[in-house]
Structure 1
Amino acid sequence: MGKTKERRLLKPDWQENHVYLVQFPRIKMIPSPSPYCLKLETWLRIADISYSNISNEFKHYSPKGQVPFIELNGRVFSDSNDIIDYLKKEAKNPDQRLSPQDNAHAEAIHALIENSIHWIYMYSRNRDAKWFFGPTGFGPHARGLKGTLMKIFGKMQMSKKIKAKVMANGIGKNTPAEVMQFAKDQLRALSVLLGDKDYFFGDIPTTVDATAFGHLAQLVYTPQFDPEVKKYMEQCTPNLVSFVERIKGRFWPDWHNATENLSLDSNWRR
C-alpha cells in the first residue's frame, strides 16, 4: 500500500478522516486531463466520501512521484488504485454488493481500460501535446515569466515523458491506421461488456465505472490523433458515449464550474 509520512503536509491543519485530494489544476476541456485524477475524484463522489481538492501547482507530487495522491489523517497515500482499495476498506465500499464472479469481471474490465484503452489517447498525446499548455489546457495557469517557462519547458518535458511511455509500451511504433484498428477493437469489446446497462454492473455505479469514466472521458473531451476515433464511438459504440454523459450528468453537476471557472471546489452536490 502506497502510504508514507511526509516531512511537510500540504494540509497541516487537517481534519480527522477527511480526504484531501491533491491533483493537477483544472483545464477548460475536462476537469482533469489525467485519467487517474478524474477517476479518483469521480470514485470519491460515487462512494459519497467527503473530500477537499488541493492543487499540486505543478510541483507537489507524492513520495512515489505520482499525482493524484491524498492526505488522510496526517499520512500520504499514493497511486489511484491503491488509494481506492484502502478507502474501500477503511471508509466506504461501493462494490460491496458485487459477487466474487462480478469482482473477477470487474478486474478484467479494469485491465481492458487501463492496459489497452488508455494507450489510444496516449498515442494521440504523443503526436500532439501542444493543447496541454494552450488556452483550453493548462495555459490559464501559466502567467508571467514562470508561466512562459512552464509553457516552453513543461511542454518539452511532458512530450518527452509521453513519448518514452508510448514507445516502451509499443503502441508508439504503430501507424495511425494500426492504432485506429486497435482503438476500434478495444472500444467494441468494452461496449459489448457494458451492453444496454446504465453501469457495468446494473443500475448502481461501482469502482469500475469510475475507472471507465476517467479514461473514456479523455477520448470524448480531449483531442485525438484522428477524428475517426470520436466518430467511431458515436456511430458504433454509442452506449459508451451515453455512459460518459450519464456519469457526467449524475456525478458532475458542477462540470461547468470546474471547466469554465477552473474551480477545484469539491462541494459538488450544491
Structure 2
Amino acid sequence: MSSNTSGTTINTKQSKISGWLAIPAPLARLFKKFPLLTYPPNELPARSPSARDVPTLYVFISDRDALYGLPSFNPNCLKWQTFLKLAGVAFRVTSSTNHASPTGALPFLLPPSSPKPIPTSQFEEYAAENGITKILDAPSLRVEAYESLLDDRIRNAWLYALYLSRPNTALLSRLYITPVSASLVVRKTTLYNLRNAAEADILRSLGTPVVNAGTLYEGARDAFEALSVLLGDDDWFFGMVRPGLFDAKVFSYTHLLLDERLVWEDWTLTEILMEFPNLVAHRDRIFESCW
C-alpha cells in the first residue's frame, strides 16, 4: 500500500515538472515542421593564418582589410607593417586604436607566447631575430637628413590634407570617426578634437601662428623633389640592393596618396607626388613586393 502511494507521489511530481518544461502546443507544431539545426562554424578566410603561432600587429585598419592583411591607412602603422614584410617577418594584422594600445600608440606587436607587447622601438631588433631577410643599414647621417623631410614637410602637408582640408572630410570620417561611434554628438566631438590636434601639431612644427595651405604644399613639393633626386634611377634609396626602413617610410606616404581605395576629394598632395615618376615607380615596386 505504501509502495503504491510512493509511486503515485513520484508520478505526480514528474507530471508537474514536465508541465513546467513542456513546449506550448503551437511552438511544438512549428518545431516539427521546422526543426532546429546546429550549423558547423564558418571556415576562416582563405588568406587568414592557418596557425596562431605568429605575432599580431595592431594597427589602424578596417576589420575587413585586416582579414586580408591589406595596408594600414595610417602612415606610421604602414611604415612598420611594410618594414616587417620587407624583413620577412610572419605576422597577422588586427584593427586597434591608440586608446586600446597598452603602449599608448599604434602600432605594437604582440607575440603569441608572451603577453608583453613589443613597441616600435624594438621592431628592428625583432625583425633581425625573426625575419628571413636581412635589412641592410643605410648611411645613418644621410638617412637622418632626409628623414627630416618626411617628418616635417611631408607629414605636415599630409596632416593638412587629411584633417584640415574640408573636401576630404568624408575620407577622414570614414577612416577615423565613423568607426568610433554611431552617436552624432560623439562623431562631431571626435572630428573637432582630431582637427584641433592636427592644427596644433602643424603649428608646433612650423613655429608659426597660422596654418597656410599653400606654404605646406610647396614644402611638400620641395621634399618630394629632394627625395626624387636622391632616388635617381636606383630601385631603392641610398643605392641599396634591397629596400630598407627608409624605403618603407617613404612608401607609407606615397602609397596612401596613390591608393585608389582612399577616395581623396582634394587631390593637391597626390598631384604634387605624381610630378615625380620615379617616386611613383618606387611605390609600385614595394607594393608589388609586399602585397
2:147 paired residue number: 110
1:113–1:212 CA contact under 8 A, matched in 2: yes
Distance 1:230 1:28 in 2: 25
2:284 paired residue number: 245
TM-score by structure 2 length? 0.66
Report the 3-state secondary structure (helix = DSSP H, G, I; strand = E; otherwise coil) of the residue aligned with 1:204. Answer: coil
Distance 1:238 1:171 in 2: 32
- The one of 224, 227, 236 aligned to 1:199: 236
**How far apart are 1:34 and its partner, in Å?**
1.3
Structure 1 gaps, min length 5: 1-13, 253-270
Distance 1:232 1:157 in 2: 28
**For each residue in 1:62-94, what CA deviation from the matched residue of structure 2 results, as whole angstroms up to 9, or x when unmatched?**
33x21111123321122x3x1333324433385
The answer to whether 1:151 aligns with 2:187 is yes
Report the 3-state secondary structure (helix = DSSP H, G, I; strand = E; otherwise coil) of the residue aligned with 1:77. Answer: coil
2:117 paired residue number: 76
Structure 2 gaps, min length 5: 1-50
**Aligned AA for 2:108?**
F
Are residues 185 and 58 of structure 1, via their aligned partners in 2, closer, same or farther at CA, if it must alter by over 3 Å? closer
- Describe how 1:66-145 pairs up with structure 2 within 5 A: 66-72=105-111, 73-78=114-119, 80=120, 82-92=121-131, 96-98=135-137, 102-128=139-165, 130-135=169-174, 137-138=175-176, 141=179, 144-145=182-183
1:186 paired residue number: 223
Runs of 4+ more than 6 Å apart: 27-30
Taking only aligned residues, the RMSD between alpha carbons, in angstroms, comes to 3.3
Paired residues in the alignment total 229
- Describe how 1:23-62 pairs up with structure 2 within 5 A: 23-26=59-62, 31-56=71-96, 59-62=99-102
**Aligned AA for 2:212?**
T
Are residues 28 and 116 of structure 1, via their aligned partners in 2, closer, same or farther at CA, if it must alter by over 3 Å? farther
- Greater share of helix: 2
1:197–1:203 CA contact under 8 A, matched in 2: no
1:26–1:138 CA contact under 8 A, matched in 2: no
**How far apart are 1:139 and its partner, in Å?**
6.3
- The one of 13, 16, 19 aligned to 2:55: 19
Report the 3-state secondary structure (helix = DSSP H, G, I; strand = E; otherwise coil) of the residue aligned with 2:94. Answer: strand
- Describe how 1:159-170 pairs up with structure 2 within 5 A: 159-170=195-206
2:18 paired residue number: none
**How far apart are 1:149 and its partner, in Å?**
5.0
